[in-house]
Structure 1
Amino acid sequence: MTDEALEIISVPDDTPALLRTAGAVLGRGSLVVTWALLIGVFAATNGAMFLQAGTFQTIFSSPVHLVFLSLALVVVFVVGEFDLSVSANMGLAGTLTALLSVNHGIDPWLSSLIAIVAAAGVGAINAVLIVLVEVNAIVVTLGMGTLLGGVSLWLTDLNTVQGLTPSFTGAFNGALGGLSHSFYFGLAATVLVAYVLAKTPLGLRMSFVGTNREVARLAGVPVRRIRIGAYVVSGVFCGIAGVVLAASLGGYDPATSQLYLLPAFAAVFLGTAAIQPGRFNALGAVIAIYFLQTGIVGLQLAGVTSWIQDAFYGGSLVLAVTISTLIRRRVRT
């Protein structure tokens, strides 16, 4: 299937090249344009508060953990899989990072590595149950998410763990060009995933598996290995997300883990309207994260109370799934 066939806006063959190019750009960049319009609205209505350096630092630096969490979802969605345990897996990693370092005196970098390995192990368990045992993915990951949430609360005895060393947190929260170091970590990871999915044979095989698993198998693609690998890599990204979040907070509260599931899903589905319309893609998901964050911060600065975050993410998820469904339907016709 060609890239032109994936555009949201269909253009007849006899349309001038300039208009065809404009239609392609609009199809791929519609979310970016909407984001720019949103910024313009907030600037016009509340410019004194919105147009400050601190506002944009908050928008770009605070949701970096969601960048990694969204990448975890993109990797499994691309191969046609599903995972409801990503936020709880991130929570386990965040809990282990803080708990091992603060309560047990282990070097925070070693604690982080242990946490990431543990999260990858959770991804591997999901893969075995779903790919090899062939248990329904929703059942497995929903149950795994609930289990991990309980384990994290048990490990911390229902308490928040605080006290990560400043040298460790500073490696993530320190500023470069007005933005946190973790922002650049997330940007690098996004570019890497986008490159692998779009420009490498592995990415092509992953998309092939996600499009038609049986045809991919008959074509000689190692379908099972790719599906298992996707869950393990997803677990790694969950682990990194947990480390980044724990570092940004100086600790971790395991009771908050499930709060991050809805934003990640909203971003990934909304991201199918950008860059590669109709496809799950890393760049689109990250653009969607910052689009959503801009909306929430702008509304909060305008005086809307804290309930707007849940309402905005919930409404965005419904809208995003609707848009994704319509785009996919348009692509198939």
Structure 2
Amino acid sequence: MELTAAMEEREAALMARFAEAKRHDYRIRVLGRGFRIRSSQSAATEEIVSLANWDRVVAYQPADLVVTVEAGMTISALNDHLAACSQWIPLTMADGFDDTIGGVVAAGLDGIWRGGYGPFRDRVLGLRVLTPGFGAIEAGAHVVKNVAGYNLPRLFLGSRGVFGVITRVTLKVSPRPSVRRVWIWKGDWETLSRQADQLLNWASPWASILLLKEPEMDTWKLWAEWHGISKTVEFLQREVGPGAEDLPWWSSPGWLARDVTLKGAVPRRVIGDLMRVWEDGPLAVEWQSGAFWGGLPAKDCRRIMHWIRERFGGVEVVSGPDLDDASRSPIVTGPWQRLKQAYDPDAVLV
């Protein structure tokens, strides 16, 4: 896909910053809206480069369910654009923040509808990335069906921009569901887990089945959301209850009050145990997979991360203190360092 003169000029200016950072011995931290910052413990001087104004739709083919956007475009702005064709990106973060598309890719995020629509990474068809080591890279394709052997975009998913700066993202979009319905229950673990299993017996796939916890709540919540056609919703209303239409996503003030945000997944057999040991912060756990998103005080972070890994789960810091020794598995440290050396040999990106 060809670049406009304005795009070329901005990219050239950003590439020049890489060389300048090397000459003057400082580091570059690229931000979208700044929601997912890991505070660095390094003594190196950092300069912020914002992509907030890189926010245009580059190309859109509604018939092919494909859109290409600049990395600074927010989820809500993109969905506003797609709404004219009754399409959308089904992505809402558990903490309710409106991330940029580039930020979602760089931080490896998933939303509350992962159980029904699949992981966000499966929507990423192509990326344009500016790297200090190799210059501009076009990774992936601009079509849904791609037979290339290597899925290079996956390399940059969750890399947090340390290999290169993501400037454009090509995504697969979805038709908007004709009907949406939400049901909420309160109760203890035994009651809610039985209800969640019953929901899966009645219908599949649910857009989301989430167990929710807040430190201020005496009971837990079960949030179930169905996206589909009227006949299925009518059946579920007879079996489950009336539910509610267009219910706003659960929002906890605890997200802003906690020092660290974690994401990851645990085996389903320990979901209840995770919710019990998560003592002082909001937590949302996907019933179908054990994927979770939660906030904690900094003092509890290492304990919870250790607990999760002891039970063969995965966890990483989304925002808060970097905790590099705790947030990156020793298994991937060596390959990560070799990739960093190749794509950013002078380590100008943090």
TM-score bracket, shorter-length normalisation: under 0.3
**What is the TM-score of this pair, normalised by structure 1?**
0.24
**What is the TM-score of this pair, normalised by structure 2?**
0.23
Higher helix share: 1
Higher strand share: 2
Q: Which has the higher contact order (CA 8 A, sep 6+)?
A: 1
